[in-house]
Amino acid sequence: MEETILNCQDSAEGILTAVYRAYEWKLPRDRVSIRTGAVDLCLFASCRDVETRPDLAKKVSDTIKRRFGRQVWEDLSFAMAACDERKGTAVLRTIDLGLSGRIRGRLTQGLGEEWIRIVFELGRRVRNEYHRQQEFLRFRQAQEGYLFALTEPKEDVTAFLMPHFSDRLPMENFVIVDSLRGIAGVHPAGRPWVLLRLNEEEKGRMAGAAGHTSQEEAEAAELFRCFCRTVSIRERENPGLQRQHLPLRFRGTMTEFDPPG
């Protein structure tokens, strides 16, 4: 039988809707792929667009949690945030393997199976990026008093960062901007956070925010730079080791690496 490609939005909801449809439409799972990016001409396969339906996605996520537990749900959520073409298909096949009952123990650790290994690998990549952003993300204070962070994460991790920072800074107004994907997590003080897709004008405004920081911001930044400089032990200096732990790609947005002046 012919291959089917389900073409969906690049988000967890999009992928889970496609998973739902694969079952609903009774497509043979080993011949279905889920694509989240632009699909090139499908010559040897039939292509179907899947429109995102939050209610259907929720049904699938509920099933995953119920059948395989919270841990597996978390693993799959991380995998779905990866910047990787294989993720949709890998999630579908992993769920299918789980429902078949062939995997003993925690589903996402059945690493003997190729598709589960992919889910595992993608999840690991996203988790790493999430941890890195928890470490290296820097807030700056805008003139208006709110905090903003400009980030360029390799994977789509803003939705994971928001609960982390909302718990720590409940009384702050803050925004985390993913400049690469044009996504912003917005947290108004004392209220729940939301995720927004930025339009062109908003993107420009957020990028410009860096130029409008407060005097206090300059002072705090100067103090921190002084701290970082001083805390290093001269006899142990080792730029290679520093780079190994803190790759150059993060430094562009980190206060302590701002060019002087």
Partner 1 sequence: MEFRIGQEMPLIKKLEILTDAAKYDVSCTSSGSRRSGDGTGIGNTVKAGICHSFSADGRCISLLKILLTNECIYDCKYCVNRCSNDVARASFTPEEVCRLTIEFYRRNYIEGLFLSSGIWQDPTFTMGMIYRTVLKLRKVYRFRGYIHVKAIPGADPEVVRLTGFLVDRMSVNLELPTAEGLSRLAPNKHRKTILTPMRQIQNGIVSSREEVALYRHAPSFVPAGQSTQMIIGATPEHDYQILSVAESLYRKFDLKRVFYSAFVRVNEDRELPALPGGPPLLREHRLYQADWLLRFYGFSADELLSEERPDFNLLLDPKADWAIRHLEQFPVEVNRASYERLLRVPGIGVKSARRIIQSRRSCALDFCHLKKMGIVLKRAQYFITCSGKMLYPVRMQEDYLARQLIDSRERLPFEADRVTYRQLSLFDDRRFVMDRQNFVRQAWT
* Contacts to partner 1 by CB under 8 A: 102-106, 109-113, 117, 121, 131, 134-141, 147, 149, 165-172, 216, 219-220, 222-224, 226-242, 244-246, 254-256
- In the bound state with partner 1, the residue whose beta carbon lies nearer, of 36 and 141, is 141
Nearest approach, Cβ of residue 158 and partner 1 (Å): 14
Number of helical (H) and strand (E) elements in the chain, helices listed first: 10, 8
Long-range contacts of 138-145 (CB under 8 A, 24+ apart): 138/253, 138/254, 138/255, 139/174, 140/210, 140/213, 140/217, 140/221, 140/255, 141/213, 141/214, 141/216, 141/217, 141/220, 142/209, 142/212, 142/213, 142/214, 143/212, 143/213, 143/214, 145/173, 145/214
Nearest approach, Cβ of residue 200 and partner 1 (Å): 28
| Dist CA 158 CA 141 (whole Å) | 19
User: Encoding tokens for residue 224?
Assistant: 């921190």
Tokens 């945030």 -> residue: 81
Q: Which amino acid is at 127?
A: R
The answer to whether the CB of 162 falls within 8 A of the CB of 187 is: yes
Q: Name the nearest CA neighbour of 209 among 257, 253, 249, 149.
A: 149
Nearest approach, Cβ of residue 114 and partner 1 (Å): 9
- In the bound state with partner 1, the residue whose beta carbon lies nearer, of 44 and 215, is 215
Nearest approach, Cβ of residue 141 and partner 1 (Å): 8
- In the bound state with partner 1, the residue whose beta carbon lies nearer, of 20 and 165, is 165
Which residues, in sequence order, are CB contacts of 125 under 8 Å at separation 6+?
Answer: 82, 84, 154, 155
Nearest approach, Cβ of residue 117 and partner 1 (Å): 6
Nearest approach, Cβ of residue 41 and partner 1 (Å): 33
Nearest approach, Cβ of residue 210 and partner 1 (Å): 14
- In the bound state with partner 1, the residue whose beta carbon lies nearer, of 92 and 147, is 147
- In the bound state with partner 1, the residue whose beta carbon lies nearer, of 32 and 137, is 137
| Dist CA 177 CA 182 (whole Å) | 7
- In the bound state with partner 1, the residue whose beta carbon lies nearer, of 96 and 113, is 113
- In the bound state with partner 1, the residue whose beta carbon lies nearer, of 91 and 137, is 137
